[in-house]
Amino acid sequence: MIDSPYDEIGLRNLEDFLLKNYGLRVKPDELLTLLKFIKERAKLRGIPVGPDTVDNLLKIPEERRRFVSLITNKESSFFREPAQFKALSDLIFPELLKKRQPLFIWSAGCSTGEEPYTIAIVAKETNTPVRILGTDVDELALERAKVGVYRSWALRNLPTHIRNKYFVQVSEDEFQISPEIRQMVNFKHHNLISQFTPHPEIKLGWDIIFCRNVLIYFHTEIAIDVFRRLHSALDKDGYLFLSSTELFFGQLAGIPSERLNNIFVFRKAK
């Protein structure tokens, strides 16, 4: 509900801010909720409500980090879409290891770390030498990822022997991933809509990129651009994983997916 003469301006400013900085197109009711949050934080900061409230609050680094953490999706779990990780262990790792090692893997939009740690577990179980980078726009989520403590719900897809081997229970409903897995992943703050992609150590391209359940939240044109840049960041014969609900972005970008057993992936041409 609009309850201030400045709310219309605030909503427009907020919509522009989200699209320009994070590629997000947000529904009107969600925008109202976010604007209410911003006004409450501004009031706590002693920032007057007016046409520049959004800009004035979000130029404060701490408040921007808090806001970004609010707008990002943190629904994740270990071994999400397990068929992809089975293909990784049974087919992709053995194939790529014939050509080079270690393998350089980027988990883009990794949130609180479940995905890159899953990759690390698969690599450990298959004795695959890897270098893993996890990136996200949410700095607060990355801090949680580095600690590696998760509630049992995030571990619901884990086989019992994997849970017992790589996790230690630290409270009634919390488990911490083992140091040997934590040290396999480096985390870095990164915004996917920036006009650059991080490069692996030494190499010019990534062997494997995971970017799942991320593009779906972007404005379509921005998602297509990000997809193309992810694909171009692969090394020759490299693999790009999206979630099963995001494969259409490849079609929109004019890059077909390839079937690998019962999953679909994108590959860099030889």
Specify the pLDDT at position 53: 87
Instruction: Tell whether the model's pLDDT for residue 5 goes beyond 80.
Output: no
Residue type, 167: F
CA separation for the pair 31, 38 (Å, rounded):
10
pLDDT band, very low/low/confident/very high, at 143 (cuts 50, 70, 90) = very high
For residues 28-33, average pLDDT: 88
Summarised one tens digit per residue, pLDDT across range 173-194 is 999 999 999 999 999 999 999 8
Summarised one tens digit per residue, pLDDT across range 152-173 is 999 999 999 999 999 999 999 9
Specify the pLDDT at position 1: 44
Report, in angstroms and rounded to the nearest whole number, the Rg of the chain calculated over CA atoms: 20
pLDDT band, very low/low/confident/very high, at 202 (cuts 50, 70, 90) = confident
pLDDT band, very low/low/confident/very high, at 2 (cuts 50, 70, 90) = very low
For residues 117-138, average pLDDT: 97
Q: Mean pLDDT score of the chain, rounded to an integer?
A: 92
Show the domains of the chain with their CATH numbers. 7-71 (no CATH), 82-147+179-267 (3.40.50.150)
Summarised one tens digit per residue, pLDDT across range 91-107 is 999 999 999 999 999 99
For residues 26-36, average pLDDT: 87
For residues 81-96, average pLDDT: 96
